[in-house]
Structure 1
Amino acid sequence: MTAHHVPKTISDHIALAVVKAMRVPADLFFARRYGHRAVVLETVAAIPGMVGGALQHMKSLRTMHNDRGKIKTLLDEAENERMHLMTFVKIAKPTWLERMIVLIVQGLMFNLYFLLYLITPKTCHRIVGYLEEEAINSYTEYLAEIDSGSVKNVPAPQIAIDYWRLPASASLHDLVIAIRDDEVRHRDINHAFADRMS
């Protein structure tokens, strides 16, 4: 895994501040309930790829230029994050309150991210890069809880075994490693997109 992307521009500093501010309510509400945290956060994490992919698609149509694979990359990211959510729904069994939070947060995030992407896609990709850094930290903490026995290392659900092609005997530990690896790729891709927009 590569190191934290050190902010260099005002846009980078704003992106990092936004992400750090978003982490505060998640930490307060979920504390160490990592499965439930993942349900809500993966709902949010699936939005940027879909919004960015749609807006890059419209830009490609409008400008009549090839997007060089960016649309597919962003839409694949959105689908991957959705599969994280579908997997954690099986593990954490979200409560009605968490489902209501998902509705509210999703509505706010989708619209804010859409508007911000129209204004400054670079900042949006940097935000996602930093969000993924936080996700990597959270999944690393989750692994530590599993390894210490604080969280039961239950069998991975079938949806995860099928999607990540895990062995039939795969556990939550194996699943969290696979998801964390996904987040590493998303982090690197989004930071690279932001760098290219400099």
Structure 2
Amino acid sequence: MHALPSPKVASRILPINARALPLRRALLTPCMASAINSRRSFASSFPRRDEKVLQVAKTNEKSIIGPGAEGPHIKDLSPKTPVVVPSSTEELRGDWVLFHPVYSPEELRSVEVLFRDAKTFSDRVAHTFVKIARWAFDFASGYKHKPLPANAATMSLEELRKGGYLMDESQWLRRILFLESIAAVPGMVAAALRHLRSLRLMRRDHGWIHTLLEEAENERMHLMTFMTLKNPSRLFRAMVLGAQGVFYNAFFLCYLISPSTCHRFVGHLEEEAVVTYTRCIQEIEAGRLPEWTNLPAPEIAKDYWRLGPDAKFLDVVYAVRSDESTHRFVNHSLASLKYESDINPFALQEPDMTTKGSRICFERDESARFAEEAHRKITDRRGEAA
């Protein structure tokens, strides 16, 4: 009989997540397992909230709910299947994340570069700050993208790079890593403030918190994916630390004053992110980033976006761009709502990628209709199940 790790050790190496309960139960003492069973029995006596449904056109259902590229999820294993517990020095891998979209090949290529016009004073303030932030990001990351000269066809790749017309793979990674280390801040700040507001007023949140947390984690997973290709220097990490400190506190204070302006700011920021990744895709497909042309997708990306075993890095960039278009759509839509009373229309489901990729947002009345339709679908499913 193999010795089991103590509950204290198990709690450190295993994610505290409902998906991992079968494994945790095997590791915990019988007394603790009994307590867990009692709590789950109590919870099961109440109606369970329906799982979010992403309406993805022409997407195989198995690609959404099936095992990832790293093998079956723990929740998919039978109770009798032995599970190897990693040591403290090994990485625990798997899809231990919140809800996030998984895209079909058609959806990945349905994203358009879109910009929302500033219609109000609040919109103009948000747009101005995005322009300032874009300039700062470009300066800090060394980003450059000048129009190609008329004789570009006769110039070598090295000549174009020396002339400042193109960036190499290292420069692109520096730009992306800096962008993603900052992009994950707004969702977490907004979720924390909504969470505290709900506690303070002792009212429900109308479904905003989860969507904001999902956005923050999605951006963090972008960073974790690109980190597999480059380990930033200490100077770069120091720059990220400074930028994150300034941006976090500035966004925190601004969100206290005007949440709608902050969501509009993030929507405009995601517009710029879509532009950046669209240019990156164009550079890869044009052969101007040869190191990435046939580069295999990192394993973390294959598991997260449910990519095939032969997926390339180009597929990852397409998936990241689709995520950014989702954040663009969601934040512009949230900015049009009444922060204090309107429900989050994406709490129960999100539009398919063909909608999020080709439209800039829902206006307030459209958000209300979309939320009502999602609620009606769930009610109908419950009625059919009964």
TM-score normalized with structure 1 length: 0.95
Which letter maps to 1:140? T
In the other structure, the counterpart of 1:92 is: 230
1:65 positional shift: 2.2
Q: Distance in 1 between matches of 2:302 and 2:174?
A: 20
1:109 positional shift: 0.6
User: Are 2:225 and 1:114 equivalent residues in the alignment?
Assistant: no
Q: Which aligned pairs between 1:25-36 and structure 2 lie closer than 5 A? A: 25-28=136-139, 29-31=142-144, 32=167, 33-36=171-174
Structure 1 SS opposite 2:310:
coil
Q: Distance in 1 between matches of 2:119 and 2:230?
A: 38
In the other structure, the counterpart of 2:198 is: 60
Question: What RMSD over aligned residues (CA atoms) do the two structures have, in Å?
Answer: 1.4
In the other structure, the counterpart of 1:48 is: 186
Q: Percent identity?
A: 48
Structure 2 SS opposite 1:30:
coil
Structure 1 SS opposite 2:336:
helix
| Greater gyration radius | 2
Corresponding residue to 1:75 among 204, 213, 216: 213
Corresponding residue to 2:307 among 150, 154, 166: 166
Q: Distance in 1 between matches of 2:235 and 2:314?
A: 27
Count of residue pairs the alignment pairs up: 198
1:49 positional shift: 0.4
Q: Answer 1 or 2: higher relative contact order, Cα 8 Å, separation at least 6.
A: 1
Which letter maps to 2:195? H
Q: Distance in 1 between matches of 2:253 and 2:232?
A: 29
Q: Which aligned pairs between 1:156-195 and structure 2 lie closer than 5 A? A: 156-195=297-336
TM-score normalized with structure 2 length: 0.50
In the other structure, the counterpart of 2:288 is: 150
- After TM superposition, the structure 1 stretch with the greater mean CA deviation from structure 2, 42-51 or 86-95, is 86-95
Any unmatched runs of 5+ in structure 2? 1-110, 145-166, 340-386
Q: Distance in 1 between matches of 2:134 and 2:282?
A: 19
Q: Distance in 2 between matches of 1:64 and 1:173?
A: 46
Query: Where has structure 1 moved over 6 Å in runs of 4 or more?
Result: none
Q: Which aligned pairs between 1:15-34 and structure 2 lie closer than 5 A? A: 15-28=126-139, 29-31=142-144, 32=167, 33-34=171-172
Any unmatched runs of 5+ in structure 1? none
